[in-house]
Structure 1
C-alpha cells in the first residue's frame, strides 16, 4: 500500500494533535494547512529549531508519554499541500469551514477523503453546497466530536492529550470515485488504537449524537438569572454543572432522541439505532475517566478529563465577567442547536427545552434565528440548518445518502 498522505486543516488544539500523531505513524506523511494570519510561518520556523511533541497523559496512572515527530510541511498555500492528499481532516471551528472548503476546492484529487473532526451538524450540507460536483468524487466523513480533550502547551512545539475517548462514532457518504485507502481504517491508523472508530448508519446520526448541544444549555443554566455583577472567582464549566444545568442538558438530549425515533418511524431507510442519550454517551466514551456514573450531573462533575475547565470569562481588575462571544455560543448555536432544531421541525418533534435555551442564546448573541418556533429569523443564513440549504422534508435529507 502506498504511503498515506494526511492533510490536517487548522492550527488549534485538534490540528496540533492530529498532525503530530500522523507524523508519528509509519508509512504516513503529515501535512498542515492553516490559513489563519501567520500561523503557518510561525509553526514552520519553530520546528526548524525544536522538536514537535504530542504528550499523551493518563489521568488514571498519572503518567505521560511523549511522541516526537514533525509534520512534513505546514503551509498557508492550499496549492502546495492539497494535491496528493488522501485524507483531508478539518479540525478548525465550524465557522471557519467555508473558508477551508473554498480553499481546497480547486486542488482536490478525485478519491480524496474529506473528514470533519468534529464535522458539527450541517457539515455535509455545507460541503455539498460549496464543493458542488467536486463533492461527488470525494468520500465525506464526519465524526461526532474530537477524539480527545487536548490543549496546546506551546504553539508549534507541544500539545497535550488530557483524555482519550474509548470510542467515536462517524458517518461516511461514499464517493463515486473509490478512494485508494479505506476511509475508516485510514483514520484509525492516524489516531492509533483509541478511540475505536465506529461507523454510523447514516450522516444524520452524528448530528443527533452531537456534543455541539452540550455547551449552550450549560451556559443558559448558569447565566440566565445572572444579575450582571462581576464574579470574584471563575466558575467550573462541566464539573460545575448543577441539577438545573443537568435538567436542561438532559431535556435537549431527550429531544434529540425523539427526533431520531421520528425519523426512523417515518422513513425505514434511516436507521437511527446508534443515537443514544447523552448520559449513556458519557458513560461509554469516558468510561475510564468518570468516577460516578449515577446520572448526567455526576458524569460531568466527576469526569477527570474535564479537571479544572472553567466558564469562558473576561477578566478586569481582578473580577470576572462571562464571555458570551466565546465559541460555546457563537459556534455551537448556529452550527449545533439551530441545526438540531431544524431537524426536529422536519421530524415534527416538539422541542420545549431546545426552544427555551435557543431563545436565550440568540437574545444574548443579538441574533435572530427562531421566530414563533420556526427558523425564519433574519440571521438564519449564518447557520447550517437544513432549511437554509433547501432541505425541508425527510426525503430531502435522504436524497444525499
Structure 2
C-alpha cells in the first residue's frame, strides 16, 4: 500500500474502534493511514488488501498505508485520530512526538477525563514541534467490534458526538477540518465539558468493583441487567450526582446518566435502575472475565482519579468516587492514583477552579508575582518556560 500525497487522515490503533473508523473514512472516499503498534493486525490487513465492514455500514475499504512504523503512518497527514485506550495516551504521545509536523490536528477518541490536557502536556515535555492542536471527543462515534484483524462490525453510528479542542477557541477550526466526513462532531464548550460528560466513569468501574466476587468466580453474567441491581444502581446515582456537582463547579454542561440513556437509547424511567433495565441495547452484554479489564484498568485511573482531583481543586467532596478508587486499589494491588491522571501529572498542579477554566478556554496559566517569566515557543505561540507560567495565547 504505497503512500499517496493525498493522505489526509491517520488512525492510531487497530482495535475495536480504530479498525472500524479507518474503514469508515476510506469508504467515504478519504485517503487513510492506519497504525498499530503490534505487527499482527497490520500484516493481516495488508494480506487482504484492506478492511471489510459489516453491520450498519458495509463495504470493503482500501487504505493507503497500514504500518507499525509511526513515522510512516504520520508522514504528511492532516488529522490524526487516536483510538487507543486512554491508559495508553501517555506512552503514545511520547512515541508520536518526534514524528509530528506543524499544523497537524490530533483528536482523542475519546479523551476520557483530562485526556487532551495530558496529551498536550506530554507532547510539550517530549519536544513536539510548534503549530499542533490537540482535541478530544466525549465518546467514541460508533458502537463497534473488531471481529478479527481486517474485519469489523459497526452496530451503530451515533448521531451526535461533542468535541472540544485545547484551548477551546480552536474548536471551530478543528470542526471545519473534519465535518465534511464526520458531521456528527459538534462543539462542546471546552475539554472540561467533554471530560465531565464521561458516562463510562459512571457505568464501568462501580458495577465491576461491586461485583468483584461474581466476576472472579469465573461465571460471566449479564453486566447491565444482572450486575446493576437496585443497590448498585443507587451507588451509580451517587457517583453521577458527584460528577454533576463537579461540572457545576467548573460551569460546564453535564447531562445526568438517566437523561443520557433517554437521549441515546430512548429509554425513560423515574430512576436509573429502571432505565438501565429497560435499555434493550444492554441486553446480553457480558461482564468482564476478570478484574484485569479496561473498566478498572482504564476507567479508574483515567476517569475516576481525575474527576476526584477536580473535585478537590474545587473544594468539593466526592466520597463515593474516592471509595471506589480505594476499593479498586485494594482489589487489584495497584496504586491507581499514582498511575492515574491527576492535576499535577497533567501539568495543572496547584491551580484553582478559575485558573483551570482559563487554561482550557484560552491556554492561560497565571504566574505568581515571585516568579520570573522566561519565554520559549511551542504550538506556534510564545509561552513561559517555567511550570507556573502562561502556557498559551490570549484568545483572538
Q: TM-score under structure 2 normalisation?
A: 0.81
Q: Is the 8 A contact 1:149 1:305 kept in 2?
A: no
Aligned to 2:287: 311
Q: Give the Cα separation in 2 of the matches to 1:228 and 1:329.
A: 12
Please give the per-residue CA displacement for 1:35-72, whole angstroms capped at 9, x wherever unaligned.
12533223222x23xx6222233xxxxxxx51321221
2:82 to 90, 101, 105: 90
Which residue is 1:215 aligned to?
A: 204
Runs of 4+ in 1 over 3 A off after TM superposition: 133-136, 185-191, 226-229, 292-295
Match of 1:234 among 216, 220, 224: 220
The alpha-carbon distance between structure 1 residues 238 and 106, as it changes in their structure 2 partners (threshold 3 A), is: same
2:27 and 2:54 mapped to 1: Cα distance? 12
| 1:138–1:174 CA contact under 8 A, matched in 2 | no
CA contact (8 A) 1:16 1:152 kept: yes
Give CA-to-partner distance per residue, 1:121-165, whole Å, 9 cap, x none. Answer: 121232222211637522211111111211112221x21112333
Q: Is the aligned partner of 1:183 residue 2:174?
A: yes
- How far does residue 221 in structure 1 lie from its aligned partner after superposition? 2.9
TM-score with structure 1 setting the length: 0.80
Aligned to 1:340: 307
- Structure 1 equivalent of residue 9 of structure 2: 6
In 2, the alpha carbon distance for the partners of 1:229 and 1:338 equals 24
Contact between 2:7 and 2:33, CA under 8 Å: does it hold in 1?
A: no
> Structure 2: 5+ residue runs without aligned partners?
364-396
Alpha-carbon distance change, 229 to 8 in structure 1, aligned in 2, over 3 angstroms:
closer
Shift of 1:229: 7.5
Partner of 2:42: 40
1:134 alignment partner, SS class: coil
Q: How far apart are residue 189 of structure 1 and its match?
A: 3.7
In structure 2, distance between residues paired with 1:169 and 1:390: 23
Cα distance in 2 for residues equivalent to 1:243 and 1:135: 51
**Unaligned runs of at least 5 residues, structure 1:** 58-64, 265-271, 314-322, 370-378
The aligned counterpart of 1:327 is 294
Structure 1, 242-251 or 339-348: larger mean CA deviation: 242-251
SS in 1 for 2:200: coil
Is residue 100–residue 129 contact of structure 2 (8 Å, CA) maintained in 1?
Answer: no
Equivalent in the alignment of 1:277: 256
